[in-house]
Amino acid sequence: MRPSPVRHRRTCTGIRALLGAAVLTVTAGCGLLGAEEAPPPGPNTPVKVAALALADVAPLHIAIDHGLFAQQGIAVTLVPASSGQDAITKLASGDANIAYAGDIAFVNAVDGGLPLKIVAEAAVAGERTMRVLARNGGPVLSVPDLAGKRLGRNAEGGVSDTLTKSLMADHGADPKSVTWTNLEFGVMAAAVLRGGIEAALFPEPFATAAEKQGLHPIADPATGSAKGFPIGLYGATENFAAGNPGAIAGFQRAMRDAATAAANRKLVEDTAVKHLKGIDADTAALMALPVYRSDPVVTELQRVPDLMQRYGKVFRRPIQMSDLIIAPPPPNK
């Protein structure tokens, strides 16, 4: 049963008041669900979404908190994941229907034979949204010093190690000389401070939290070859996408509106404090935010496999990101 017109108008009004004039376009998502490419999902169609606790997924929480998914007829349940690879594993096992993952982890999974589709983008690296951090008085003072060191990464074959390798190569340091340790982002700062590793790439909000603990920045990896690099997306299996076109389209519409709403920095800060463990208001106010977008940009997404190949990835077959994208529905008028 669809929401009544009165209740529908009240929901839209509440969102409009919350987000303010700068992001009024979020209320476009309050229009009745169309059926341009896909039938609407049934009321409260359940969709399980696997995601990490990163600033990249703030729009996902905004969409849940402010009823944007509900307006599209889907009921989203979050499934915690420790890494993009873990989220993709949950996708493959059926524990999740849609998963947030780093673009690099997603491409690796596709290359490994997993039939995946891109539902929406999540974030693009902005200035200082990721930093390589080291401890004060340690052996790493600059990017060339990373050669031969023990470095932290969230998981093998993801954004954290691939962009570190790209950064090193841009500065003439040998990425193959590194000894990697897999750690969850939440414990990386402690590992650097006690000397278990010398440095690591930290995304937000973990980068700001780690700097508050005494680590200092070595470099911003989203420069040089990786400037403006796509860092996160939402994917689904081909089977789920084919069997649930209405739910996919509803997710895309809601995330488009949520990405627009995320232009309101205060809203993102409040969302981070509410949903990201250990992030207080001071840390949220200091953290650098990525560029949020939802509708895929093919030319930018293609940079992901191209960069991976440039730094040593050998694909079993050419990866064309355009072949993986589920086209989003047209914006509401």
Query: Considering only CA atoms, which of 54, 281, 284, 74 is closest in space to residue 186?
Result: 54
Residue 23, pLDDT above cutoff 50: no
Query: Considering only CA atoms, which of 26, 44, 20, 23 is closest in space to residue 253?
Result: 26
Q: Over the Cα atoms of the chain, what is R_g?
A: 20
The CATH number that domain 130-226 falls under is: 3.40.190.10
Instruction: Give the per-residue pLDDT at 228.
Output: 85
Residue 327 or 20, more confident: 327
Instruction: Give the per-residue pLDDT at 332.
Output: 72
Q: What is the mean pLDDT of the chain?
A: 87
pLDDT band at 277 (very low <50, low <70, confident <90, very high): confident
Instruction: Give the per-residue pLDDT at 144.
Output: 97
Instruction: Give the per-residue pLDDT at 31.
Output: 30
d(CA 234, CA 101) in angstroms, rounded, equals 6
At 190-208, the pLDDT tens digits run 999 999 999 999 999 999 9
Instruction: Give the per-residue pLDDT at 271.
Output: 97
d(CA 193, CA 210) in angstroms, rounded, equals 10
44-125+229-318: CATH topology: D-Maltodextrin-Binding Protein; domain 2 (3.40.190)
Kindly list the strands in the beta sheet with 215-219, ordered across the sheet, starting from the edge strand earlier in the chain.
Answer: 179-182, 150-153, 199-203, 130-135, 215-219
pLDDT band at 223 (very low <50, low <70, confident <90, very high): confident
d(CA 64, CA 58) in angstroms, rounded, equals 10
Q: Structural domain boundaries of the chain?
A: 44-125+229-318, 130-226
Residue 29, pLDDT above cutoff 80: no
Q: Is 44 helix (H, G, I), strand (E, B) or coil?
A: coil
pLDDT band at 37 (very low <50, low <70, confident <90, very high): low
In angstroms, the Cα distances linking 174 to 14, 54, 143, 144, 170 are: 53, 29, 10, 8, 10
Residue 10, pLDDT above cutoff 50: no
In angstroms, the Cα distances linking 68 to 26, 65, 155, 308 are: 9, 8, 32, 35
Instruction: Give the per-residue pLDDT at 309.
Output: 86
Mean pLDDT for 234-255 is: 97
DSSP for residue 284: H
Residue 11, pLDDT above cutoff 80: no
Asked, colleague to colleague, whether 44-125+229-318 and 130-226 share their fold, the answer is yes
pTM of the model as a whole: 0.81
pLDDT band at 12 (very low <50, low <70, confident <90, very high): very low
Query: Considering only CA atoms, which of 322, 324, 319, 289 is closest in space to residue 126?
Result: 289
